């Protein structure tokens, strides 16, 4: 009987956790690890912060960027992206351009089995991000 009660209590506890909706963190930076099928170049630091005011911003590897965004459940989209206009090494500029294009195509988000945040385009591989520590 005790085993049955323990099993029922454990099941009720797990059901409560499963019912909680996972949400994107606002006003906290995510660090980009992959853009589609390609990992970031060594020493590149690309970030995304989703402000509670509906504005996203971060570092594109060379320039700072900003854009409006909307999130509704698992739907996510970014408006027109603006950025500063510094010039960096050609490879960094190409990666930044791919990143901005990928952000413009985002339609939804999810959390992977390894707890990584993913921003998905209509087709293809996602932008993969981790919450920044600290």
Comparing CA positions, the residue from 67, 133, 60 lying closest to residue 106 is: 67
CATH topology of domain 26-129: Lipocalin (2.40.128)
Measured CA to CA, the distance from residue 59 to residue 95 in angstroms comes to 12
pLDDT the model gives residue 21: 61
Note the pTM of the prediction, 2 decimals: 0.82
- The string of pLDDT tens digits covering residues 90-117 is 999 999 999 999 999 999 999 999 999 9
DSSP class per residue in 6-63: HHHHHHHHHHHHHHSPP-PPSSSEEEEEEETTEEPPTT--BEEEE-TTSEEEEEBSSS
- The string of pLDDT tens digits covering residues 25-64 is 999 999 999 999 999 998 899 999 999 999 999 999 999 9
pLDDT the model gives residue 6: 39
Per domain, the residue ranges of the chain are: 26-129
pLDDT the model gives residue 95: 97
């Amino acid at each position: 009987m005790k085993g049955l009660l323990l099993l029922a209590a454990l099941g009720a506890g797990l059901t409560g956790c499963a019912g909680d909706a996972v949400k994107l963190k606002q006003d906290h930076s995510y660090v980009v690890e992959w853009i589609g099928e390609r990992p970031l170049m060594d020493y590149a630091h690309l970030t995304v912060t989703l402000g509670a005011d509906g504005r996203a911003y971060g570092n594109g590897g060379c320039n700072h960027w900003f854009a409006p965004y909307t999130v509704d459940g698992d739907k996510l989209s970014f408006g027109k992206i603006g950025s500063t206009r510094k010039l960096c090494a050609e490879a960094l500029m190409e990666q930044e351009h791919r990143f901005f294009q990928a952000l413009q195509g985002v339609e939804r988000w999810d959390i992977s089995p390894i707890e990584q945040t993913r921003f998905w385009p209509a087709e293809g591989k996602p932008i993969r991000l981790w919450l920044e520590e600290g």
